[in-house]
Each structure stands twice: as structure tokens, then as C-alpha cells.
Amino acid sequence: MIKYDTVIIGSGMGGLCCAYILAKEGKRVCVLEKNRQIGGSLQIYSRDKTIFETGVHYLGGLDEGQNLNAYFNYFGLMKELKLQKLDQNGYDLISFKDDKQVYPHAQGYENFIDQLAQIFPNERANLKLYIEKIKEVCDSFPLYNLSAEKKDITAAWHLQIDSKSVINSIFKDPKLQQVIGGSNMLYAGLEDKTPFYVHALVVDSYIQSSYRCIDGSSQIAKILSTNIKKLGGEILNYSEAKTFYFNGSEIESVELTNGERIEGNTFISGIDISKTLDMVEGSHIRTAYRNRINSLENSVSSFLVNVVVKPESMPHYNHNIYHCMAPDIWTGGNYTEKTWPETIGLFTTTSSKNPDFTENFTALAYMRYEECAKWENTKSIIPNNINYRGEDYEAFKIEKAEKILDVLEMRLPGTRSKIKSYTTASPITYRDYIGSRDGSLYGIIKDYTDPLKSFITPRTKISNLFLTGQNLNLHGIMGVTVSSVVTCSDVLGNPNLIEKIKNPS
């Protein structure tokens, strides 16, 4: 039996980045993926010969000299990726029910200010102050800026105040307050919980620059996979980890659901933290730690309508749309059956075959897992595990899809006439494909009232078990990439890792 230096559970962005870093450092790595397709939220699927994203609809910070560009260059991604830069003057368009004005979020700090100041001329000074606050917050996170500097941010002001309060304190115009927070679906923003640093780190990356992957973001996973294998690493599909086996106080192997055991010196889990703890039997993890992790609340899930458009009926949209039906953009996750959907995100794809037209789009709305709880004992993963969830589930999906399409028709009149077909995905679809226990979009909720409670370190109480992924620092491609560096720095004890990323040659 092969014994690996490092066994990584989960082939999402965090797991793949960890595998690349460690393989590049000379470690023999093995990545375990339960599904056929690797990549977690980077997975795509095809309908009517068009490609749909499952999670990553656009990326930020990819211009030369920007943070994600530097990380991606290190991983060998920049020279291979096919990218489309979104509209410079409005990569995101924010809109509201009964308001014909469309409000742009533009790329570039000055351009962001200028575009909104055209609509809100009396708020120009406050827009500048907002950008200054965003930069201040981002400067306090060294790895976000590719710095190895050590900073203690546990008492930072931006951890201890919610996003909505900060935004509302900066701007006087109530509509602009809503516009600035209008893309909060990117981090499942909550008015009474989401710390301002979450808002700042997420939106800053997109304001720097915004891109879409041409023909789908799965190319990120494919390129990483190829590069990992070139460095001697292995990736095993259909390999679902089930149980850790110990030799004394350390893990010596992980058993798969097929009974096979994979041995390693070090283990990294990039999957749901509570599911990772379920793999540790006995007293190796203290009850208090289990209870703490299991008590953490996950962010809301979502319902998706994935629409195939009739050929050449819809022009190419080089932007995303966030449309709010409720009076307050911060209440979307607290919907009632009557008010759902309160907010919709609309994301199109860019095809290399037909770049002038939209081939398909995804419309996303928040949905709580509890709405699908009656079907949670079913499982449906193509191609090796497909259960029909029943006619009531199919009727449920159609009802929800039609409500979303009704909203889209109001926002973009004529949309229904351009639909060729559509499919849907619910919280239990996310659960089955992405692996989170309740289909959570972004993992553990960050709460400004108790910020340290949701700070998870890569190290566990088991000396050779480490964690990575969106629950460590921040979700999204940038957040998960940074978390992989944090994890690998702990595994390697290597203070020079960030310098190698900045100077990959």
C-alpha cells in the first residue's frame, strides 16, 4: 500500500490549491474526490449543448499586478485560462422593484466613484470615503495583499460592526445605501450579523477587476489537476472518505466508502468541518470542540433556474444583475413563502462558439435547506447514484422556477419568449454535489457580535489533521485560495511560502 506524505479530502479549490503547493514543495500528495467531476463549486454541467456554472460565475482581482493574478500565476493558471473581462463601467448592475434606474458597480476605484456619482452627485465625497474604508480593511489582511507580515486583527473595528451599519453611516441617501450593498448575495449578507470586513474583502476584489471564465470555470480545476499530476500528485475520483483510523494520537489512514484505506503522514480536509469531525471516532476530538463546531450556523443555500436560451435571441450580457424585490436588500435570506424570492442574481455565461449572444443564464435566489428537508433521505449524483425524489419534488421545483421567471420577466421584459428549456437545482442538489451538510452557499456565517467564534484555524487537536476551504478565512475563489496558503504554511512550517508565490520562477 502506498503511503502518501499528504492525503487531501475534497477536490474543491482549497483542496486543489493545497495539493499543488505541497506537490511543488516535493511532497507526495493524493486528493480524494467523492464525485466523478473534480472542483467542488468549479463544476459545470451541460444542457442542450451549452455549459452552466454550478457556483463560480465571475472572478475578481485578475489584472496584472493584482492579488488573485499573482496567486493564479503561481498555480500556473494565468497563462492557460480563457477569460472575458466584464463591462468596465458596470460589471454588476443593481436594480429594484418599481425603479427604472439601473445602478452600476464599476471596475476601478475612481471609476466606481464616478459612475455612481453621476446618479448621486451629492454623495461623491462619501463614495470616496467608502473606498478608503474598503482599502483600510483590505490592508489589514496581509495574505490578501501577498504579504508575510504578521498582524493581530482580533480587535479590529471592522470585525465588530455589521456591514449594513457601516454602509448606512457613510451614505446619506437611502437608495445609495441599498445600491452599495446590492450585491450582498456574493456573501449571503445579513443585516444583523455580517461583519464589514466580509463585505470589504469580497467587493474590493471585484472593484479591482472582474472577469468571467469563457466556456466555464471548470477549466481552473482541470488546469490545476494537470499541474498537480505533472508534479507527481494523484487525484482519485469516486473516492469518498468515510472514517479516519489512528495509530496512537495520530491518523494513519482514511477508509473510503468502498472499504479501501489510504495511508498518509498528514491529512488535510477541505470538506464541511462537521462532516470531517464525523470521520473521527472516539475521544480523539474533545466533545467541547465538536459541540462548538456543530453549533456554528451555516449560511443560507439557494435555488437555481438554469435557462437555455433560443439561438441568437438574447444579446450577450457582459455584466451580472442583482434585482431586489423587497424594500431592504439585507432581508433576502429571511424571506417568507409570500415574499419569496426577495432578491435574484442573474448570471450569464460567455461561449467561445457564439460570443455575441447569450446561450444560457442562471437565475439564483436564496432558499433555506428546511424547504427541502422532506426529501433529504434521497440522493442524486450523476452518473453513479441517482434517486428519483418524487413527483412532489418535481412540482415544488416547477413552482419555484416559475416564480423566479415571473420576476425576471418584470425586470427583463420578453425573457420568457426567449427560453428554450430550463433545469433547476435546490439546496439538496448543492448538498449532494458540493458536499456541505445543508447545501450552504458559503459555509459558516461570520457574526460581528462574536467574531472569534467563527474563526477556524487550520490546525486541529489532532496533530496531523489540518483544515482548509471557505470556513477558515473567507469564501469565494480569493478567500479559499488564501486559506490554502494558510493551511500549507502550517503544514510545511514555511515562512517563505508567500515569497515563492510572489516570485514563482
Residue 485 confidence (pLDDT) above 90? yes
Whole-prediction pTM value? 0.95
| Owner of C-alpha cell 482580533 | 154
Residue (of 364, 361, 363, 365) closest to 418 by Cα position = 361
SS3 content of the chain, % helix, strand, coil (to 5): 35, 25, 40
Decide: helix, strand or coil at residue 467: strand
C-beta of residue 345 within 8 angstroms of C-beta of residue 322: yes
Residue (of 15, 4, 7, 90) closest to 470 by Cα position = 15
Per-residue pLDDT reduced to its tens digit, 467-484: 998 877 778 899 999 999
**Distance, C-alpha 11 to centroid of its chain:** 14
Would you state the pLDDT for residue 382? Answer: 65
84-213+298-434 sits in which CATH class? alpha beta
Which residues, 6 or more positions from 132, have their beta carbon under 8 angstroms from its beta carbon? none
Centre a 10 Å sphere on the Cβ of residue 187 and count the other Cβ atoms it contains.
23
| Owner of C-alpha cell 460565475 | 57
What average pLDDT does the structure give for the chain?
A: 93
Residue 312 confidence (pLDDT) above 70? yes
Pairing of β 465-467 and β 59-60:
unpaired
Question: What one-letter code names the amino acid at 301?
Answer: S
Would you state the pLDDT for residue 386? Answer: 66
Per-residue pLDDT reduced to its tens digit, 400-448: 999 999 999 999 999 999 999 999 999 999 888 877 888 888 888 899 9
Query: Fold for domain 3-40+216-297+446-502?
Result: FAD/NAD(P)-binding domain (3.50.50)
pLDDT band at 384 (very low <50, low <70, confident <90, very high): low
Helix/strand/coil (H/E/C) assignment for every residue in 97-129? CCEEEEEEECCCHHHHHHHHHCCCHHHHHHHHH
Mean pLDDT to the nearest integer, 320-327: 96
Classify residue 393 by burial, with Cβ atoms within 10 Å: 0-12, 13-18, 19+: middle
C-beta of residue 359 within 8 angstroms of C-beta of residue 315: no
Enumerate the domain spans of the chain: 3-40+216-297+446-502, 84-213+298-434
